[in-house]
Amino acid sequence: MSTASRVATKVGEVPFLDKDDASLLLVLPGLFVFAAFMLFPVLYLVGISFTNARPANLFAGETALDVLTFGQAEFVGLQNYVSTLSDPAFWNSFGVTWLFVATSVTAKITFSIGVALVVTNERVRGKRFMRSLIILPMGLPAIFTVTVWRGIFSSAEFGLANQILRELGFDSVAWLSQRWMSFLSYNVTEMWLAYPFMVIITVSALQDVPKELHEAAMVDGAGYFSRFLHVTLPSIKRPVLFASILTAAASFQAFLIPFVFNQGGPARSNELLVVYGYREAFTFSQYGEGAAISLLAVLFIGAFMWLNVKKGKLADGVSDS
Amino acid sequence: MSLVRGVVDKLAEDARTVAYTPVEVGRDAVYTARSVARGETSPTEPLKSVGATLGALVVVTLLLFPVYWILMSALSGTGGSIYSSGGLHLLPQDPSLKPFLWVVGDLIVPAYAITVNVPFTNLAVVFNTPELVFLDASAYGVDNPSEFKSFFWNSLTVSIPTVIIAMCLIIPASYALSRREFIFRRKVLFTYVLLTQVGGGLGIALLIGLYAVYVQVGLNNSKLALAVYYAATAVPFNTWLLKTYMDGIPTSYEEAAVVDGAPPWRVVTEVILPLSAAGLATVFIFTFLTGWTEFVVAQTLLGTENYTLPVGLYSLVDEYSIPWARFSAFALVFASPLMLVYLFAQRYIEGGLSFSGMEG
């Protein structure tokens, strides 16, 4: 046995704790805290969803131990789920959520590919500088971006969207008090929120497209658009698909935009699923139903992600780590 | 301090690039002009390039216009209208820094009287510290300044415990996952990576459960409890990130240290930790930002007196009585330091997240 490999076994064997498995102790604190603060609330959420919990009975207990009996809330079986699934408001929220996923993901992908094509075009000078400029918004906190965009769509005098409309000679629009106008404003904001991430991924995918393919297509007399369709798109498909799956999950869970813009209004018509559950619990004090809705939302997103992970093979990197 | 030196070096490099850019562009233009004059290049080619560049500049301008607009609103005395009877205004009208003064408010350290009793006597020595006035907002006509300072303090007292707790949980775990073989290792890793993909948005859905538990145990409105929650949510992603970083450190360094007779703990403190400084810095920034920028949970759990900066920002947009210029100034003071941190950390973050495709 050579010295090097003997040392290597020594490093692998002893250093810290006697037995190899004792190293698990280093991982356990993190796992434990994570479980206590994420897993326990999940179990609790499941529990609440089977009770008629409201602030009046849920927080009625005298001691902290009442946490285990859900205060004085009563077990009502599947009633919350039945009433949720038979509520047209839930199905409205469900539909709007998927519609939002569809429209916002389409918008995000087309917009980002467009921007990425512009900043990788070989005729454009100073591409690198432009690229670092346009991904700057990634460093802004989401709450900043969303509140600023709420100001843009505000009906007050400073509202930027209306100022531009007036400048172009149109009438101003009450963005946040009309259903589809608010929906449109959600989409625009989500697009701006997500574009730096999408552009980064698309640009690096575009840079990996082999030059030879383009040259060969040019020799064959293909124009810009047919080259884009038949050379560029197939080459960047996989990374862009990967980014779209992640960004679709983000769209599905969109909370900040509807909540900050107009609480999912007007008249609860644009409450995306997560906002719907949150408002049901905290605004209308129906903790039981809110919990049921949130769990259904988690189930949907879980199934959606699972399908995508299976289809898109996202977990490939894990198996060999 | 090699990390700091690295950052400084890269900044200097950036500055040099920026300084040389006009020269390069000029040379380029002269070269192209000569080549056109000699008839080697067709004159439409450079025109096409100029057109494409101008088009790209328009796209970049449009994309960043919201940021420019908010900066302009904060500086303008009129409250952020670019539109007026005279047409569009792209520069602030009667610029003033008053909105920023309103955000920051007074910076005054009040005078204290410190009394020290001299032992065994009846004598006492009294020190009067002078009142330190850094900034007196009312002197500039700003009464009733914002609560920025109290929000700032609350954010700080949430974020610092978050970082400390998270670091204590993350560093040992990522070391073990990177360097040791033990039971359930692959299972733990797989769980963490899976949670990294789905984790974020689950928080809001689980909020009802979290809120109910916290209220019953009496932990709502406690900043420390919030910090522990943030640390817990930060664990999977950051552990995985730091573990990936540590994987990149060659084991031969550790072998050399062992050969030299270093005990195991010194291998960790003198080899692994210094070598993963950049990774540690990234994780530090990420965990700090978790506490600094999170909105929904803080808004639900904390009472008015404990509002952190994001919740404070939201409470401003909720009120129609706040002039837009003041809101903009508040938002900028909140966000611009984060932007700077991001600029500094960008290279490291991109290196850590495996999509570093931004080189020209």
Which CATH number among 3.20.20.370, 3.30.1480.10, 1.20.120.1200, 1.10.3720.10 corresponds to the domain B148-352? 1.10.3720.10
Alpha carbon distances (Å) from B135 to B119, B138, B142: 39, 9, 11
Per-residue confidence (pLDDT) for residue A131, from 0 to 100: 84
Chain A residues in contact with B48 (beta carbon < 8 A): 123
What whole-number distance in Å separates Cα of residue B286 and Cα of residue B288? 5
Per-residue confidence (pLDDT) for residue A19, from 0 to 100: 57
ipTM surpassing 0.90: no
How deeply is B103 buried, as exposed, middle or buried, from its count of CB atoms within 10 A (0-12, 13-18, 19+)?
Answer: buried
Higher pLDDT, A10 or B285: B285
Please indicate whether, in this complex, the C-beta atoms of B56 and A30 are within 8 angstroms of each other.
no
Q: What is the pLDDT of residues B161-180, one digit of tens each?
A: 999 999 999 999 999 988 88
Token pair, residue A233, equals: 């798109």
Chain CA centroid to CA B305, Å? 24
Instruction: Give which of A45, A100, A138, A261 to mutate to test B binding, by max B Cβ within 10 Å.
Output: A45
Domain range annotation of chain B = 2-99, 107-136, 148-352
- How many CB atoms within 10 Å of residue A106? 13
Q: Is B245 on the interface with A (CB under 8 A)?
A: no
Chain A residues in contact with B286 (beta carbon < 8 A): none
CB A257 within 8 A of CB B205: no
Q: Is A303 on the interface with B (CB under 8 A)?
A: no
Alpha carbon distances (Å) from B174 to A230, B157, B241: 44, 26, 8
Residue with tokens 């949510």: B233
Pairing of strands B132-135, B87-88: unpaired
Per-residue confidence (pLDDT) for residue B290, from 0 to 100: 86
Q: Is B71 on the interface with A (CB under 8 A)?
A: no
Q: What is the pTM of this model?
A: 0.82
Please indicate whether, in this complex, the C-beta atoms of B207 and A142 are within 8 angstroms of each other.
no
Per-residue confidence (pLDDT) for residue A71, from 0 to 100: 72
Per-residue confidence (pLDDT) for residue B346, from 0 to 100: 67
Q: Is B342 on the interface with A (CB under 8 A)?
A: yes
End-to-end distance of chain B based on CA atoms, in angstroms? 29
What whole-number distance in Å separates Cα of residue A21 and Cα of residue A24? 6
Higher pLDDT, B236 or A320: B236
* Fold entry, domain A81-314: MetI-like fold (1.10.3720)
pLDDT band at A111 (very low <50, low <70, confident <90, very high): very high
pLDDT band at A321 (very low <50, low <70, confident <90, very high): very low
pLDDT band at A20 (very low <50, low <70, confident <90, very high): low
Per-residue confidence (pLDDT) for residue B357, from 0 to 100: 33
**Taking every pair of C-alpha atoms in chain B, what is the biggest distance, in angstroms?**
101
Q: Is B173 on the interface with A (CB under 8 A)?
A: yes
Please indicate whether, in this complex, the C-beta atoms of B232 and A38 are within 8 angstroms of each other.
yes
Chain B residues in contact with A7 (beta carbon < 8 A): 255, 258-259
Buried b (16+ CB within 10 A) or exposed e, B293-317: bbbbbbbbbbeeebbbbbbbbbebb
Nearest Cβ partner of A41 from B188, B213, B357? B213
Per-residue confidence (pLDDT) for residue A318, from 0 to 100: 46
Contacts for B50-55: CB closer than 8 Å, 24+ residues apart: B51/A123, B52/A121, B52/A123, B52/A124, B53/A123, B53/A124, B53/A125, B53/A126, B55/A118, B55/A124
Size of interface A-B (CB pairs under 8 A): 320
Per-residue confidence (pLDDT) for residue A108, from 0 to 100: 94
Q: Is B143 on the interface with A (CB under 8 A)?
A: no
> Which range has highest mean pLDDT (A16-30, A65-79, A156-170)?
A156-170
Chain B: give the shortest CA distance to residue A289, in Å: 11
Q: Please give the torsion angle defined by the CA atoms of residues B303, B305, B307 and B308, in that order, rounded to the nearest 10 degrees.
A: -140
What whole-number distance in Å separates Cα of residue A51 and Cα of residue A76? 5
Say whether pLDDT at A231 is over 70: yes
**Taking every pair of C-alpha atoms in chain A, what is the biggest distance, in angstroms?**
84
A70 Ramachandran zone, left/alpha/beta (phi>0; psi -120 to 50): left
Q: Is B52 on the interface with A (CB under 8 A)?
A: yes
Domain range annotation of chain A = 42-77, 81-314
Chain A residues in contact with B328 (beta carbon < 8 A): 148, 151
Per-residue confidence (pLDDT) for residue B83, from 0 to 100: 46
Please indicate whether, in this complex, the C-beta atoms of B358 and A305 are within 8 angstroms of each other.
no
Q: Which residues of chain B have pLDDT under 50?
A: 80, 82-86, 352-360
Per-residue confidence (pLDDT) for residue A63, from 0 to 100: 66
Higher pLDDT, A311 or B293: B293
Say whether pLDDT at A159 is over 70: yes
Per-residue confidence (pLDDT) for residue A24, from 0 to 100: 82
DSSP-assigned beta bridge partners for residue B116: B125
Listed range (A26-40, A249-263, B72-86, B171-185) with the worst mean pLDDT: B72-86
DSSP-assigned beta bridge partners for residue B132: B109
How deeply is B85 buried, as exposed, middle or buried, from its count of CB atoms within 10 A (0-12, 13-18, 19+)?
Answer: exposed
pLDDT band at A98 (very low <50, low <70, confident <90, very high): very high
